[in-house]
A = this chain, B = another copy of it.
Amino acid sequence: MNTEEIPLRDRILETTRHMLFSDGYSSISMRKIANAVGVSATSIYLYFENKDHLVHTLIEESVEDLSVAIEKGAARYDDTIARFEAIIHSYVDFALQNPEKYQVIYMVQSERMARYPKEKFRKARRGYTLLGSVLEQGVKEGHMEVDEPLIAAYSIWAQLHGVISVVLNQRLDSRIDREKFIEESIEHIIQGFFARIKIS
């Protein structure tokens, strides 16, 4: 078999990610995962402390990949505004092209995240920290008007996630066209940072 060559730990991770995405968290169990991999349930505990740890590892992987995608996207441009837009589009593109990985990041609700080791959160910061520094640069160059770049970056992050999760979770109103929704939402989020006109 070819799969025998791949380390068991990796096979467990891949199988879990797939099952997590297609069946949902509450449907997966250690026994089912083990069964799909072709080992006994307790073998999973040789590589992961418990179910939480297994899921957290999956999240960490996904966060890493997302961060890399964003950094690559930004690196393609020198111009600050182009970098700003590239980051946002990289985020959205990654989420839409890798729904399994993206969904895993946010699939786990607050309670289970509370058990997520705090130091790991710093890795998750990489993406919007980069965005923050781009915003700062934008302010310096006079293109944007932003009080607190870090807050602004986080705000964009949250807004993007809201848009993406509505799309991926299929909560979108059936009367609304998916692509148009995404496009207009991104446009709106971007636009909000170039114009700061007082309401007349």
| A191 near B194: Cβ-Cβ < 8 Å | no
Complex Cα–Cα for A165 and B169 (A)? 15
Additional 4 contacts, C-beta under 8 A, given A114-B170, A151-B180: A152-B188, A155-B188, A158-B166, A161-B162
- Cβ of A115 to closest chain B Cβ, rounded Å: 10
In the complex, per-residue mask of A65-83: 1 if CB is within 8 Å of any chain B CB, else 0 = 0000000000000000100
At the interface, yes or no: A154 with Cβ under 8 Å from chain B? yes
B181, B191, B193: the one within 8 Å of A154 (CB): B181
At the interface, yes or no: A107 with Cβ under 8 Å from chain B? yes
At the interface, yes or no: A113 with Cβ under 8 Å from chain B? yes
At the interface, yes or no: A38 with Cβ under 8 Å from chain B? no
In the complex, per-residue mask of A165-200: 1 if CB is within 8 Å of any chain B CB, else 0 = 110111111011100110011001111111111010
A159-B159, A173-B125 are contacts. A196–B195 as well, Cβ < 8 Å? yes
In the complex, per-residue mask of A81-103: 1 if CB is within 8 Å of any chain B CB, else 0 = 10000000000000000000001
